[in-house]
Amino acid sequence: MSEQVTPPNKPFAVDVTEGESYYWCTCGQSKSQPFCDGSHQGTDFQPLAFTAEKTATVYLCGCKKTGGAPFCDGSHNK
């Protein structure tokens, strides 16, 4: 079993574009947080793909403990 790394304990404000696909890092090792850069290779982790429902600023989880991945739910405050 691979161990998850926790990057900065805060959400990342990200501008997304409606209809575009994004890949949220689940392992915490990416140097391109909160997005996947392939650092999970050789681990049990896979990025989480999502498509933006609208063009907006969204807050993606940084602590990797959210219950609503990839979006921040405030879990970093607990």
Q: What is the 3-state secondary structure (H, E, C) of 5-68?
A: CCCCCCCEEEEECCCCEEEECCCCCCCCCCECCCCCCCCCCCCEEEECCCCEEEEECCCCCCCE
Contact 39, 28 (CB under 8 A): no
The Cβ of residue 37 has, within 10 Å, a number of other Cβ atoms equal to: 14
Mean pLDDT of 49-57: 98
Domain segments of the chain: what residues? 1-73
pLDDT of 13-38, one tens digit each?
Answer: 999 999 999 999 999 999 999 999 99
Taking the model in full, what pTM does it have?
A: 0.89
The amino acid at 34: P
Mean pLDDT of 42-67: 96
Q: Any idea which residue has 């807050």 for tokens?
A: 59
**What is the rounded average pLDDT for all residues in the chain?**
93
